[in-house]
Amino acid sequence: MKNTIITFLAILPLLGACTKKSNDILIGEFGSLTGNDATFGLSTNKGLRMAFDEINAAGGINGKKIKLITIDDQGKSEEAASAVTRLITQDNVVAIIGEVASGRSIAAAPIAQKHQIPMVTHASTNPEVTKKGDFIFRTCFIDPFQGFVGAKFSIQTLKAKKAAILRDVKSDYSVGLADVFATEFKNMGGEIIADLSFQGGDLDFKAQLTQIRSKNPDVIFIPGYYTEVGLMAKQARELGIKVPLVGGDGWDSARLHEIGKEAINGSYYSNHYTTESTDPTVVEFIKKFKEKFNETPDSMAALSYDTAKILAAAIGRTKELTPKNIRDELAKTTDFPGVTGKITINADRNAVKSAVIVQVQGPERKYISTVSP
């Protein structure tokens, strides 16, 4: 009996390797469909499915249909790494899309690079991600830019002189944004009066906020994710802190307001796109998304939709369908008219595009201004 089990375990990997060859173009996706920031993974998955469904309905790419293989990484870095390994070695995908969180993209990127499979991240804004190799791309702006946008907006529009920072020390994304914000804010003549930390998953932030309150900042910069930010806003208002909170695209979720309630109203964050846009591409995208999923697309859905379209365009330009050719064509993307703006991939394989600042007003996001690089 024992021997049977051992034999079975030994041949198990071989069974997995026998995947059927198909005529479809296989594209892999890894994302947090479950876990603490599950809404990100669910939104990006919807954006991708919508884009590929549209392409397939229009006859696919050069007669071939796209097949999306999605693996849930549960919001964990180690799962992200194994998901990408599986996509490459077992499912034989030609390209990979993912992840939202920079930490998980950084865990996955070296694997894609090692196997020479192009990986495009739709929303990882940490600069380190694309430094992992020449097969790693992104279609969003990077942290230095969002930190810069936050600092510029605080100084110029909010007329802030003193800022406090609350950073999530467990998240590469948060630390990246906070560092750049601190440098830029000081360069522009402001003063950082407190730079405190918390850890993603915490519930209580009153100790940090009490400390901030005694220093009277004009603005508090919180580059965190929506769950913590919602709780923080609530606790800040409970302690009587009335200054605006400013953050990055990690805030962008309908849950932000559900958790923070009226406490989060009036705060600002930088984002990839706004639903208030009058650009026909955006209006059309929002209309189709609402028809398909019966909800308003958040920026994660918009970004992943653009990523899918950019990747499909690159695949369409290849003469022969190999991962290397897809990589070369992706690098040539210039002025792609996406939902999240005109996208050009630069020499560092990062996207060059503008950011918008929106203000939270209940479930609505009011467009305030556009900040260009």
Partner 1 sequence: MQDFVQHIINGISLGSIYALIALGYTMVYGIMKMINFAHADVYMVGAFTAYYVAKWTGLESSPGVSTLLLLLVSAMIICSVLGLLIERLAYRPLRKSPKLNVLITAIGVSLFLEFSGQVIFGADPKVFPEVMNQFVIANFGGLELKSSDVTVLGVSLIAMVILNFIIQKTKIGRAMRAVSSNASVASMLGVNTDRVISFTFIVGSSLAAIGSILVGMKYPKIDPLMGMMIGLKAFVAAVLGGIGSIPGAVAGALIMGLSEEMVVGYLSSTYRDALAFGILIVILIFKPTGLFGKYSVEKV
Residue with tokens 């999306």: 68
Which residues, in sequence order, are CB contacts of 175 under 8 Å at separation 6+? 167, 168, 169
Query: Closer CB to partner 1, residue 94 or residue 263?
Result: 263
Smallest gap from Cβ 324 to partner 1, in A, equals: 37
Which residues, in sequence order, are CB contacts of 364 under 8 Å at separation 6+? none
Phi, psi for 309 (deg, rounded to 5): -70, -40
Smallest gap from Cβ 39 to partner 1, in A, equals: 6
Phi, psi for 204 (deg, rounded to 5): -110, 125
Burial zone of 249 (CB within 10 Å; 0-12 exposed, 13-18 middle, 19+ buried): buried
Which residues, in sequence order, are CB contacts of 5 under 8 Å at separation 6+? none
Smallest gap from Cβ 206 to partner 1, in A, equals: 4
Helix (H) or strand (E) segment spanning residue 75: none
Burial zone of 2 (CB within 10 Å; 0-12 exposed, 13-18 middle, 19+ buried): exposed
Query: Closer CB to partner 1, residue 262 or residue 284?
Result: 262
Query: Closer CB to partner 1, residue 76 or residue 272?
Result: 76
Query: Closer CB to partner 1, residue 149 or residue 164?
Result: 164
Smallest gap from Cβ 365 to partner 1, in A, equals: 18
Which residues, in sequence order, are CB contacts of 21 under 8 Å at separation 6+? none
Instruction: Read off the tokens for 347.
Output: 């020499």
Query: Closer CB to partner 1, residue 258 or residue 348?
Result: 258
Single-letter amino acid code for the residue at 7: T
Query: Closer CB to partner 1, residue 253 or residue 350?
Result: 253
Query: Closer CB to partner 1, residue 38 or residue 331?
Result: 38
Smallest gap from Cβ 267 to partner 1, in A, equals: 17
Query: Closer CB to partner 1, residue 88 or residue 259?
Result: 259
Nearest CA among 66, 45, 69, 47 for reference residue 55: 66
Query: Closer CB to partner 1, residue 81 or residue 233?
Result: 233
> By the criterion CB under 8 A, which residues form the site for partner 1?
34-36, 38-39, 42, 74, 169, 196-199, 201-204, 206-208, 210-211, 213-214, 227, 230-231, 234, 238-240, 255, 258-259, 261
Smallest gap from Cβ 269 to partner 1, in A, equals: 19
Smallest gap from Cβ 265 to partner 1, in A, equals: 15
Smallest gap from Cβ 234 to partner 1, in A, equals: 7
Torsion of CA 365, 371, 372, 373, to 10 degrees: -110
Instruction: Read off the tokens for 82.
Output: 């194994």
Burial zone of 94 (CB within 10 Å; 0-12 exposed, 13-18 middle, 19+ buried): buried
Single-letter amino acid code for the residue at 95: A
Query: Which residues, in sequence order, are bridge partners of residue 179?
Result: none
Please give the order of strands across the beta sheet that includes 351-352. Answer: 336-338, 341-345, 351-352
Query: Closer CB to partner 1, residue 220 or residue 231?
Result: 231
Smallest gap from Cβ 256 to partner 1, in A, equals: 10
Instruction: Read off the tokens for 370.
Output: 């556009």
Smallest gap from Cβ 363 to partner 1, in A, equals: 12
Contact 132, 138 (CB under 8 A): no
